[in-house]
Amino acid sequence: MARDDMPQSDFRDAILWHLAYTLGKDPDHAQVFDWRLALSHAVRDRIVDRWMAATRATYRADAKRVYYLSMEFLIGRLLQDNIVNLQLADEAQAAVESFGLDYAGLLLDEPDAALGNGGLGRLAACFMESLATLGCPAYGYGIRYEHGLFRQSFAEGRQVEAPEDWLEQPFVWQFERPEARFTLGFGGRVATRDGRAVWEPESFVQAEAFDTPVIGWRGAWANTLRLWAGRAVDPFDLDRFNAGDFAAAVEAEALARTISRVLYPEDSTEKGKRLRLTQEYFFSAASIRDILRRFEADHADLRLLPQKVAIQLNDTHPAIAGPELVRILHDERGLPFDEAVGITRGCVNYTNHTLLPEALESWGEGLFADLLPRHLQIIDRIDEADAKAHPDRRNTARGDGKVRMGELSFILSNRVNGVSALHTGLMKTTVFADQHRIWPDRIVNQTNGVTPRRWLLGCNPRLSRLIAQTIGDGWVGDLEQLHALEPHVADAGWLDAFAAVKAANKADLCDWIAREHGVALNPQALFDVQIKRIHEYKRQHLNILEAIALWQEMRENPSADWTARVKIFGGKAAPGYFFAKDIIRLINDVAAVINADAATNEKLQILYLPNYNVTLAERLIPAADLSEQISTAGKEASGTGNMKFALNGAPTIGTLDGANVEIRELVGAENFFLFGLTAEEAEARRAVPDHAARAIAADPRLTRAVEAIRSGTFSPGEPDRYANIVENLTRADYFLVASDFADYWRAQREVDFAYANRTEWTRMAALNVARSGWFSSDRTIRGYMQDIWNAKSLLGQE
Ligand code: Z57
């Protein structure tokens, strides 16, 4: 039932109603901001009834619930996504335009909620949407960061970070739950009473819940994203205030709020700070309490927990949820220790997202004992029992004065999954080889996916329309239906229509770039796009080296028939990752020199767009011709941007890394530009003395490109600006940029050649679309439901 005090019949009326009664605005004075909020409220109303119905159905069925614990949810903007999933787009657009407003502008007025860094956080957001689409009863648990990922700008080519402020505006999609609060302890000591361990924390903080409904495709089901915010147990000290110490009166509150103040901007790099561990325990412990509260409301026997609860740890960040559950079951509920461990292991599963040693979390035991003394005892006890049962165990959670979170997550999990076939295989032979030998059934693969609602239907309306005209609209909820496009690639008329979609998307992007950044791009050029976090293993420096070499060759041979290219970069560097920041500056410096060269700038342009985020990805991906997925083989666990590009008709130039391998298998080797060493070859190459110097010496193009950087071509007057990069490339080169350069160059020239035959290229692009249906996150979530959670869909029971 809809709210009956409000006219629901007409969407227009609903917007006007909210403008007046929710926002208190006179339509005559309302700004875009007010209209956007009013529209959001009108959309939200259509979600709420379905949301409650889904929650009631879950209670009624006493269904198993899935809990997705993630430090990051990179949700981006929600208004359009919600409108699309409720199939309200036409109605909403008509209503908005009837008020004389620009619909697209209204959607873009919403701040981009960047509660995550990159792939891991965006995966969590796609998963939430697919869980709702599939009617799997599920909750996402995370942190309601007051400041999401920093805003990036450039000053003289260098990255400048500014705080991000998404909560400065009302966040319409959330419901505050003051009744759902938990008090969490930190520090203190462990006492023994009646032979039982009792944790006596030293300080306490409250976690308060904020719920955002997540609606699935066609609005059939809705789940909850519950984000925790820190607050003080006693937010205001009246005695201190009355004594005139106003700052001290609110000190406890300021401290508690610090916990959920800001997202750590590190991504796959070191972040071993006390506040980070505090954040991890804060949201994990609050979530565990919430899970137990919900279970115990309807069940008396805690041994049934694994039948009713599946907990997924998104990387090791929430790993402390395991020991916390053991602690509550054993210390507080009185179950025998081994039983508490068994129940915990029956509920918990862990997704590993990286094999990079610098990204595998570990904590010094001093810090850990200081913050979580009882958890350390519990971890030691589990580890010791494990060592006894398996005397040949080598990798344990404890040892060397550290707590290793990967090992901890593994031993407390029922299933451990990798995120692509290659990555899962490497888990078994490298970091988790020891564990895999002992528990050979624990590691499973679930290759990542992306939601087609946001990453095709929402972001690429032109392509979506063409697809719908060709094969109907069943693909949105069943992406493998895209295969039905395949026969049409033989139809010249259809291919023209496909090419026209890409051209129009590119024209839109050009308009936007001209408006926002004052740069005129050549829309006929091949749009070559690399957008992702800046990291050595992702090798943006390989891409820019190729650009330098190409520019040099174009200058040398100006009359050759060069394929015109626009190279677009986007991505943020962790503020403390200096090498990555050097790469950003280098790209900007190279762009400045090359773009200013009248001899080449019709054929080669380089653009680094600042502040890459979900919104920018939604603009760029539909307009891309070529997807750069050029990580050193063995280092990118999966990638998900790679899937979005393929799905939007941009073939990949890439290595055999992560899910690239599966993309290539599915779209066909002839529709994928492969280059580079395999993971195995890469490992072997590192052992070759002077591999970098040799590769450079053997390739005159690479020699000349490196020399240009070294001699200051891109940093006039300051030739040593990039000494660090040059030194790394010529000596260590752990990521094998030099070793892969020649083959990358070759593959890029194949791209040039293929793009010159536009019909063939369009066919290749269209086949990428037709064959990417498997990469829907619906497929991934079905896999988790079957192989990991044993969870059932409740669709149709709401
Ligand atoms: C992150 O975004 C990923 C892994 C991490 O360990 C951290 Br921390 C952050 C990424 C991987 O690098 C991608 O390859 C992968 O596609 C993504 O997680 C989702 O699995």
Tens-digit pLDDT profile for residues 40-49: 999 999 999 9
Tens-digit pLDDT profile for residues 231-240: 999 988 899 9
Q: Is residue 390 part of a domain?
A: no
Exposed, middle or buried: residue 666 (CB in 10 Å: 0-12, 13-18, 19+)?
middle
Tens-digit pLDDT profile for residues 93-137: 999 999 999 999 999 999 999 999 999 999 999 999 999 999 999
Residues in the chain: 798
Q: Is residue 133 part of a domain?
A: yes
Q: Which of 343, 361, 379 is the last residue of a domain?
A: 361
538 is catalytic: yes
Per the CB < 8 A criterion, the answer to whether 434 and 395 are in contact is: yes
533 is catalytic: yes
Q: How far is the CA of 477 from the centre of ligand 1 (A)?
A: 26
71 lines ligand 1 (CB under 6 A): no
Q: Is residue 44 part of a domain?
A: no
Q: Which of 115, 288, 293, 283 is nearest to 205 (CA)?
A: 283
Q: Tokens 């020199």 belong to which residue?
A: 593
658 lines ligand 1 (CB under 6 A): yes
**Per-residue CA distances from 616 to 114, 488, 611, 652 (Å):** 12, 31, 8, 19
DSSP state of 774: G
359 lines ligand 1 (CB under 6 A): yes
Q: Is residue 49 part of a domain?
A: no
Q: Is residue 514 part of a domain?
A: no
Q: How far apart are CA 7 and CA 582, in angstroms?
A: 57
Q: How far apart are CA 40 and CA 474, in angstroms?
A: 27
Tens-digit pLDDT profile for residues 196-208: 999 999 999 999 9
Q: Is residue 663 part of a domain?
A: yes
Question: Which residues are 191's β-sheet partners?
Answer: 198
Q: How far apart are CA 65 and CA 58, in angstroms?
A: 8
Task: Determine the average pLDDT of the residues in 758-780.
Answer: 98
353 is catalytic: yes
Tens-digit pLDDT profile for residues 538-563: 999 999 999 999 999 999 999 999 99
Q: Which of 280, 353, 356, 536 to mutate to test the pocket of ligand 1 (most atoms within 8 A of CB)?
A: 353
Q: What is the pLDDT of residue 3?
A: 46
Ligand 1 atom nearest to CA at 118: 2
Task: Determine the average pLDDT of the residues in 265-293.
Answer: 93
Q: Which of 271, 354, 613 to mutate to test the pocket of ligand 1 (most atoms within 8 A of CB)?
A: 354
Q: What is the pLDDT of residue 736?
A: 98
Q: What is the pLDDT of residue 488?
A: 98
118 lines ligand 1 (CB under 6 A): yes
119 lines ligand 1 (CB under 6 A): yes
Q: How far is the CA of 118 from the centre of ligand 1 (A)?
A: 7
Q: Is residue 18 part of a domain?
A: no
Per the CB < 8 A criterion, the answer to whether 652 and 642 are in contact is: yes
Ligand 1 atom nearest to CA at 351: 20
Q: What is the 3-state secondary structure (H, E, C) of 317-348?
A: CCCCHHHHHHHHHHHHCCCCHHHHHHHHHHHE
**Active-site position among 532, 539, 541, 635:** 532
Q: How far is the CA of 74 from the centre of ligand 1 (A)?
A: 12
Percent of the chain with pLDDT over 90: 93
Q: Which of 311, 343, 361 is the last residue of a domain?
A: 361
Task: Determine the average pLDDT of the residues in 680-691.
Answer: 97
Q: What is the pLDDT of residue 770?
A: 98
Which pair of structure tokens corresponds to residue 407?
């090992």
Using pLDDT thresholds of 50, 70 and 90, give the confidence band for residue 9: low
266 lines ligand 1 (CB under 6 A): no
What is the secondary structure of 351-376 as a DSSP string?
E-----GGGS-EEEHHHHHHH-HHHH
**Active-site position among 316, 354, 640, 655:** 640
Structural domain count, the chain:
2
Q: What is the pLDDT of residue 1?
A: 36
What is the secondary structure of 87-156 as a DSSP string?
T-HHHHHHHHHHTT--HHHHHHTS--EEES-SHHHHHHHHHHHHHHHTT--EEEEEE--SB-SPEEEEET
Q: How far is the CA of 208 from the centre of ligand 1 (A)?
A: 28
Residue at 221: amino acid letter: W
**Per-residue CA distances from 551 to 179, 396, 603, 719 (Å):** 62, 52, 9, 19
Q: What is the pLDDT of residue 135?
A: 98
What's the mean per-residue pLDDT of the chain?
96
Look up the domain containing 134 and give its range: 62-77+112-361
Exposed, middle or buried: residue 133 (CB in 10 Å: 0-12, 13-18, 19+)?
buried
660 lines ligand 1 (CB under 6 A): no
What is the secondary structure of 467-520 as a DSSP string?
HHHHH-SGGGT-GGGGGGGGGGGG-HHHHHHHHHHHHHHHHHHHHHHHHHH---
Q: How far is the CA of 660 from the centre of ligand 1 (A)?
A: 14
Range with the poorest average pLDDT among 392-396, 551-555, 584-588: 392-396
Ligand 1 atom nearest to CA at 354: 6
In this structure, the residue with its CA closest to atom 16 of ligand 1 is: 639
pLDDT at 270 over 80: no
Using pLDDT thresholds of 50, 70 and 90, give the confidence band for residue 387: confident
Q: Which of 361, 385, 417 is the last residue of a domain?
A: 361
Burial 350-382 (b: 16+ CB within 10 A, else e): bbbbbbbeebbbbbebeebbbbbbbbbbbbebb
Q: What is the CATH number of the domain that holds 688?
A: 3.40.50.2000
pLDDT at 2 over 50: no
Q: Is residue 595 part of a domain?
A: yes
Q: How far apart are CA 376 and CA 439, in angstroms?
A: 24
Task: Determine the average pLDDT of the residues in 471-476.
Answer: 98
269 lines ligand 1 (CB under 6 A): no
**Active-site position among 41, 147, 151, 353:** 353
679 lines ligand 1 (CB under 6 A): no
635 is catalytic: no
